[in-house]
Chains A and B, each alone.
Chain A
């Protein structure tokens, strides 16, 4: 974390985006994301989270302001070029799955990059292992559960080995265990060296896993900092109708100065105080 490279991987300057109908979805966003970060973006529905991350691989181009990816202005790049640098996992895996086997689905991206056969094979194997689909390579994707299709979508993006991976709401519609599984997959992607940008509505998971939290509201950034900093400001969160994780709020009610994210830590503090 301390030996950050000098130029950020992703940066935006006064980024404004208006949809063709005239809706101003982003209203002057300036941020920098460095290689190796694990960033979570939170905010209520319609805050502009998806619109912002769609700029990170050039799917949307700024109406005004700038978006620079790996030192290149996205206005001068095609999505297909930027796909090498920033991978994007869409919210609904069914928007991308079209192959008759899982293997072919994972191959799609690497093949589009023009890699040779052996390299494609290696990457498919590696990606399938990372998401735990190795033993199902010749199955039809539609036989998979929603959670597994989500993993397949992640595998098909990571097989392209982009520097950064954007994941839009991977935990919607998942139960507690499904959410935990996806998040531990995301964490392992991060420890494999990918920069991670995650959109999520699940405060518990964000607090537990992310290293940096960006709060968005009405197309602007309300707060940007470590989970402890961001969730330590309930008044800021309330502006956008978000709440810190339950355990954090309990600790706040108990007037514990530390921002607590786990029941274990809370127990320690409370028992320690009691003793």
Chain B
């Protein structure tokens, strides 16, 4: 997984603040609504965002596969375990696979599906530093922004380190991970995992020193305002997007209060 995929799509050019709003709106919508049909509607928007962003499906295939498997598992688990009335079929004459369960399973699966398409499409099209700047401009305290930035950059670094360790051990004729059999695989993890853990701990410790020596969290004197090296301007398009998001949220909330959109 890459942190930032360069491009020049409409999504790429959107202000990070607008993107955060879109993502937040999708989150709000999928948790307010539980009717699979309505969720399908939201999915249309998410898929559209993914398509507009111009990201290649190839790159996300491993992630998408993983979530597909999760979705199927959800569907099966909910189908069998949800306390419903209308059974679709039975297993061993005892375990009901209910219609209600299927619907709940479907809605969970669709929520996952939404997140999967919308979140990467919005985040991977934003350079991490601009994303953080966006959050900071939304008045989110710098400390929290920093934690988010740290988490976002942690995974690619972990991936790169892990690749390097893998290459180093392979160069010493190490092939247990490539062999078949559970025991070999398990033994194979140590030469991979231990250096990774040690390096990560050391990195975290060094990061702490680096942060503290640069006085992170220094409070600005009252009346002074933080200035930014890179100023970001919301364009008319960005305001339109934010406006649409707010309308979508409001409309959904009203419908929910009126009792629509549930199972």
Q: Which residues of A does B touch, CB under 8 Å?
A: 21, 54, 57, 59, 78-80, 83-84, 87-88, 90, 92, 94-98, 108-109, 112-113, 142, 156-157, 160
Contact = CB atoms under 8 A, between A and B. Distances in A.
Contacts of A157: 171-172
Given A59-B167, A142-B198, A98 B191 contact: yes
Contact of A112 (B164, B175, B195): B175
A97 B172 CA distance: 11
Nearest to A21: B2
Nearest to A153: B168
A97 B164 CA distance: 12
A182 B194 CA distance: 26
B194 A98 contact: yes
Contacts of B168: 88, 90, 95-96
A115 B202 CA distance: 34
A96 B165 contact: yes
B136 interface: no
B173 A160 contact: yes
Contact of B174 (A54, A57, A112): A112
A99 to B, nearest CB: 9
Contacts of A59: 167, 170-171
Contacts of B167: 54, 59, 79, 90
Contacts of B169: 96
A83 B167 CA distance: 11
A77 to B, nearest CB: 12
Contacts of A113: 173
Contacts of B174: 80, 108, 112
Interface string B169-203: 11111110010000000000011001100110010
Nearest to B202: A94
A104 B136 CA distance: 49
B173 A96 contact: no
B133 to A, nearest CB: 24
Contact of B173 (A90, A92, A109): A109
B161 A95 contact: yes
A87 B165 contact: no
11 contacts: A57-B171, A59-B167, A88-B168, A90-B164, A94-B195, A95-B165, A96-B168, A96-B191, A98-B194, A112-B172, A112-B173
Interface in B183-238: 190-191, 194-195, 198-199, 202
Given A59-B167, A90-B164, A90-B167, A98 B190 contact: yes
B170 A79 contact: yes
Given A95-B161, A98-B191, A108-B191, A88 B199 contact: no
A57 B169 CA distance: 12
Nearest to A114: B173
Chain A CB count within 10 A is highest, among B2, B173, B198, for B173
Contacts of A98: 190-191, 194-195
Contact of A78 (B2, B175, B202): B175
Contacts of B161: 95
